[in-house]
Structure 1
Amino acid sequence: MVFSFNQLTKIEQNNVLLPELDLTVDKGDIIAIQTENEYIQRLFDLLNHPHRFKKGAVTLPKGGFQNVYIFQQTDGLYKRLNVRQMLRFWSKLYQYNGDIEWIVDLCELQSYVSKKTKDLTQPEQRRLQFALALIQPAAVYIFEDPSLMLDLQSKQVLHNLLVHLAKNGGAVLLFTPALEEAIRLGNIVYRYSERGVQKVEEDGEDTEEEHEEDVTSTQVQFEKISAKVEDKIILFHPLEIDYIEVRNAQTFLYVNNEEFVSSNTIKTLEARLLPLGFFRCHRSYLVNLQRVREIIIWSKNSYSLSLDNSSKSKIPLSKGNYSKLKELIQL
Structure 2
Amino acid sequence: MVFSFKELNKIHENTVMLPPLTLAIEKRDIVAVQSENEYIQRLFDLLNYPKQIKNNTITFPEGGLKKVYLFQRDDGLYKRLTVMQTLKFWCRLYEQEPDLDIILNLCELHACVLKKTKHLTPSEHCRLLFASALIQKADVYIFEDPSLMLDLQSKQILHNLLLHLARNDGAVLIFTTTVEEAIRLGQKVYRYTERGIQEIEQDLEKEESLEEKLSQDFSRMQVQLNKVSAKVEDKIILFNPMEIDYIEARDGQTYLFVNNEEFASSSTIKSLEERLQSLGFFRCHRSYLVNLQRVREIIIWSKNSYSLSLDDSKSTIPLSKGNYSKLKELIHV
**Is it true that 1:228 corresponds to 2:254 in the alignment?**
no
Give unpaired runs (5+ residues) of structure 2: 214-219
Counterparts of 1:169-208 in structure 2, within 5 Å, are: 169-203=169-203, 205-206=204-205
**What whole-Å deviation, never above 9, does each CA across 1:77-131 have from its counterpart, x for those lacking one?**
1110101000000001101112111100000001111111111100001000000
Structure 2: how far apart are the matches of 1:263 and 1:16? 31
The answer to whether the 8 A contact 1:222-1:238 is kept is no
Aligned to 1:43: 43
Identity within the alignment, %: 69
Distance 1:269 1:4 in 2: 39
The corresponding residue for 2:216 is none
Question: What is the 5 A alignment of 1:12-161?
Answer: 12-161=12-161
Give the whole-Å Cα distance in 1 for the aligned partners of 2:266 and 2:143.
Answer: 35
2:87 and 2:314 map into 1 onto residues whose CA distance is 33
- Structure 2 counterpart of 1:327: 329
Correspondence for 1:300: 303
2:11 matched residue in structure 1:
11
SS at match of 1:157: helix
Partner letter of residue 311 of structure 2? D
TM-score normalised to the size of structure 2?
Answer: 0.94
RMSD of equivalent CA atoms: 1.6
Per-residue CA deviation, residues 218-274 of structure 1 (Å, 9 max, x unaligned), is xxx652111111111111111100001112221111001101111111111111111
Structure 1 CA distance for aligned equivalents of residues 268 and 198 of structure 2: 19
What CA deviation, in whole Å up to 9, does each residue of 1:289-314 have, x standing for no partner?
000000000000000000002x5310
Q: Which residue of 1 aligns with 2:217?
A: none
Q: Equivalent of 1:271, from 243, 252, 274?
A: 274
CA distance in 1, matches of 2:47, 2:164: 24
Partner-residue secondary structure (3-state), 2:105: helix
The one-letter amino acid of 1:64's match is: G
Which moved further from structure 2: 317-326 or 270-279?
270-279
| Change in 2 beyond 3 A, CA 1:206/1:251 | closer
Residue segments in structure 1 that go unaligned for 5+ positions in a row: none
Shift of 1:207: 6.4
Take 2:49 and 2:251, find their aligned partners in 1: how far apart are those partners? 30
**Secondary structure of the corresponding residue to residue 46 of structure 1:** helix
Counterpart CA distance in 1 for 2:238 and 2:205 is: 30
Separation of aligned partners in 2, 1:300 and 1:285: 20
Q: Is the 8 A contact 1:81 1:117 kept in 2?
A: yes
Q: Which amino acid aligns with 1:120?
A: L
Q: 2:311 and 2:55 mapped to 1: Cα distance?
A: 50
Alpha-carbon deviation of 1:4? 0.4
Q: Distance in 1 between matches of 2:166 and 2:283?
A: 30
Aligned length, in residue pairs = 321
What's the CA shift string for 1:29-65, capped at 9, x where partnerless? 0000011111111111111111111111101101111
Amino acid paired to 2:169: G
The alpha carbon displacement at 1:8 in A equals 1.0
CA 104–307 in structure 1, closer or farther in 2 if over 3 Å, else same: same
Q: Supply the AA of the counterpart residue of 1:102.
A: I
Deviation of the 1:14 alpha carbon: 3.1
